[in-house]
Amino acid sequence: MTAQPVLASVTSTALILFNGAFQPFQAAIGFAILGYLFTTYMIPRVSPSFVKRGLYGKDMSKVGKPIIPETIGVIPAICYLFLMILFIPFMYIRYYYNQPDTYDSEAASLFPNGKLSSFLSGMLCLESMVLLGLMDDLFDIRWRHKFFLPAIAAIPLLVIYYVDFGVTDVLIPKIIRRYLQVTTNSIDLGIFYYFYMAAVAIFCPNSVNILAGVNGLEVGQTAVIAVLLLLNDFCYLFIGDSSSPAYSVHLYSSCMLIPFLGTALGLLKYNWYPSKVFVGDTWCYFSGMVFAVVGISGHFAKTLMLFFVPQIFNFIYSLPQLFGLVPCPRHRLPHFNPEDNLMYNSWTEYTEKQPVKPVMIPIFNAMEKLKLIALIRDKNGTIIKSSNMTVINLVIIWFGPKREDHLCMLIMLLQFLTGLTMLLLRHTVAPMLFGFDNSWNMLTRFYKK
Ligand code: UD1
Ligand code: MG
């Protein structure tokens, strides 16, 4: 072992064990360092065994399409789950010891069972997702079979939300309130809010999985989302009032996200261009669900979606291919040209037997004018090729062919800038639009119940 990992291990252990003023935040940083160290230690050691067991994929964007170990995302995922189990005493015991008389049975009853059950339901949900991802990597489960499973995995979360919090109101913007002359600030969506949260649980894992195919992007996008969510948490932790309920939920959220970021960065080290490992669907499902868990149990499932704007756009943009209006090849990743080492957009090809569906022709023409798609026509003007409808291909159409790592960095940068804009709007324009800050108000109302 070289000096750096030893130093990092000592620092993380000290952060975890030292019961300073910033517990459990500092322990989260300690667990993140441990997660990074463990992931980077394990991946190179276990990768050959994955290949031996048949868990590998071809890197399509390299000369000779070399074989790379796949499903490696299961290592950081399991590491994260174990770290979070070890985290439990550091996250919750302070409630017990902060009571005036520690050994008083009444004080012990102040232990936040509700908060712990919310945390445990999140862990249960993540474990289900790791299982689903693993089964998908092993057996390539069909889309229609696996689509709704994340919503079932999220049931414990939703039940705890109902019992523990139960707020299903959505704020009405000031201007609409004035226009409709309503006195109430919000509208209660009731059961529909639970459908919305179940949809979030389905969307997050799947949207990460379909923004993929470039070395580093599957993990890179999750690292960017985690950083953006942490910035949102810090707005409440370092600027807000520490006695407010919002402080407590954002402390919880950051405690979930900081160790996640540590393990994700460990995985990114090996998945970055040129990839030594592929993450597999296990990582996509697991990481997407981490965000859904944080958003739902942190009571900010609507704000969460602000940081998924590129994924939402990619999903909507992909709909014609996902629903068969446009043929969807097994892989829609960009095309690698070995002559100049650059990535070009990939195409869907049409033949006489399989021409463009008539309904798509005006849509394609309009999209072409808006520079949202590239089309190739024959000399009669018939469309013979259309670019595959993913954000990755669109970025190539807008910014030109790129080397794989530059393409990944550009997409991550665009995602970060979009997320940062959303964050600024969330904390400036949104309170003006709604008359007050939604999360603060809802939480205060709940805790006064
Ligand atoms: C999703 C996308 C698919 C994309 C694939 C890439 C949809 C509907 N599906 O499918 O279009 O091609 O992800 O992950 O949008 N690979 C690389 N380089 C990478 C990452 C992956 O070449 O950096 C290839 C490897 O051959 C790897 C395979 O993609 O084995 C993994 O694909 P998989 O995760 O099974 O594809 P899906 O998630 O089904
Ligand atoms: Mg995948």
- In this structure, the answer to whether residues 327 and 317 fall within a common structural domain is no
Domain boundary among 383, 399, 415: 399
Give me the half-sphere count of Cα atoms (radius 13 Å) on the Cβ side of residue 107: 12
Q: Which atom of ligand 1 is nearest to the CA of 217?
A: 23
Q: How many helices (H) and strands (E) does the chain have?
A: 20, 9
pLDDT tens for each residue of 185-236: 888 899 999 999 999 999 999 999 999 999 999 999 999 999 999 999 999 8
Ligand 2 centre to CA of 116 (Å) is 32
Say whether both 170 and 293 belong to one domain.
Answer: yes
**How much is the pLDDT for 448?**
46
Whether residues 122 and 165 fall in one domain = yes
Ligand 1 pocket test: which of 60, 71, 316 has the largest number of ligand atoms within 8 Å of its C-beta? 60
Instruction: Please report the pLDDT score of residue 95 as a whole number.
Output: 64
Predicted confidence at residue 430, as pLDDT, reads: 81
pLDDT of residue 211: 97
Distance 210 CA to ligand 2 centre (A): 7
Q: How far is CA 357 from CA 44, 120, 195, 382, in A?
A: 47, 48, 33, 12
pLDDT of residue 357: 95
Q: What is the mean pLDDT of residues 273-283?
A: 97
Q: Given the CA of residue 216, which atom of ligand 1 is nearest to it?
A: 23
Average pLDDT, integer, range 77-89: 95
Closest ligand 1 atom to residue 329 Cα is 11
Residue 332 predicted with pLDDT over 90: yes
Closest C-alpha to ligand 1, atom 8: 210
Q: What is the mean pLDDT of residues 368-375?
A: 97
H helix or E strand, kind and range, residue 384: strand 383-387
- Residue with CA nearest ligand 1 atom 2: 210
* Token pair of 39 as six digits: 């992931």
Choice from 207, 286, 333 to test ligand 1 binding pocket (greatest atom count within 8 A of CB): 333
- Inside any domain, residue 280: yes
pLDDT, tens digit, for every residue of 28-42?
999 999 999 999 999
**What pLDDT score does 429 carry?**
84
Q: Could you say which ligand is closest to the alpha carbon of residue 408? A: 1
The pLDDT value given to residue 94: 65
What does the pLDDT read at residue 218?
97
Same domain for 328 and 314: no
Q: What atom in ligand 1 is closest to the CA of residue 137?
A: 35
Q: Which residues line ligand 1 (CB under 6 A)?
A: 57-61, 70, 209-210, 212-215, 275, 278, 281, 318, 331-333
Separation of 403 CA from ligand 2 center, angstroms? Answer: 21
Instruction: Tell me the best of 146, 275, 278 to mutate to test the pocket of ligand 1, counting ligand atoms within 8 Å of each CB and taking the most.
Output: 278
Ligand that lies nearest to the alpha carbon of residue 68, given by its number in the listed order: 1
Whether 105 maps to a domain, the answer reads no
Position 449 pLDDT exceeds 50: no
pLDDT tier, 107 (very low <50, low <70, confident <90, very high otherwise): very low
Contact 336, 62 (CB under 8 A): yes
Q: Does any domain span residue 183?
A: yes
Q: What is the Å distance from ligand 1's center to 261 Cα? A: 23
What average pLDDT does this structure show over 92-118?
A: 62
Whether residue 328 sits in one domain with residue 419:
no
Residues forming a β-bridge with 348 = 386
Residue 154 lies in a domain: yes
Among all bound ligands, the one having the nearest atom to the CA of 348 is 1
pLDDT recorded at residue 392: 98
What is the number of the ligand closest to the CA of 211?
1
> How far is Cα 368 from Cα 383, in angstroms, rounded to an integer?
12
Q: Does 94 fall in a domain?
A: no
State how many domains the chain has. 2
Indicate the pLDDT class of residue 439, thresholds 50, 70 and 90.
Answer: low
- The answer to the question of residue 5 being in a domain is no
Is residue 103 a part of any domain in this protein? no
Average pLDDT on 289-297 reads 96
Over range 38-48, report the average pLDDT. Answer: 97
pLDDT digits (tens, 9 = 90+) for 59-75: 999 999 999 999 999 99
Question: Minimal CA–CA distance to 229: which of 157, 278, 296, 129?
Answer: 296
Same domain, 213 and 123: yes
CA of 259 to the centre of ligand 1 (A): 26
The predicted pLDDT at position 431 comes to 79
Per-residue confidence band for 1, with pLDDT thresholds at 50, 70 and 90: low
Q: Are residues 241 and 310 in the same domain?
A: yes
| pLDDT higher than threshold 90 for residue 16 | no
Both 151 and 257 in one domain: the answer is: yes
Between 113-122, 169-178, 223-232, 317-326, the lowest mean confidence (pLDDT) is in 169-178
Mutate to test the pocket of ligand 1, among 55, 273, 331, 402 (most ligand atoms within 8 A of CB): 331
- Residue 4 reports pLDDT greater than 70: yes
CB 24 within 8 A of CB 30: no
Question: Is residue 241 domain-shared with residue 342, that is, in the same domain?
Answer: no
Q: What atom of ligand 1 comes closest to residue 321's alpha carbon?
A: 8
Mean pLDDT, range 371-394, rounded to an integer = 96
Residues 279 and 221 in one domain: yes
The rounded Å distance from CA 212 to ligand 1 centre is 6
213 CA distance to ligand 1 middle (Å): 5
207 with 328, same domain?
no
The answer to whether residue 333 scores a pLDDT higher than 80 is yes
Q: What is the DSSP letter of 235?
A: I
Model confidence at 288: pLDDT above 90: yes
- Under the banding of pLDDT at 50, 70 and 90, the label for residue 96 is low
Report the mean per-residue pLDDT for the chain. 90
Domain assignment present for residue 110? The answer is no
Residue 418: the pLDDT is 98
Write out the two tokens for 253. Answer: 């959220």
Domain span at residue 217?
Answer: 49-81+118-321+407-447
69 - beta bridge partners? 56
Residue-level pLDDT at 227: 98
417 shares a domain with 278: yes
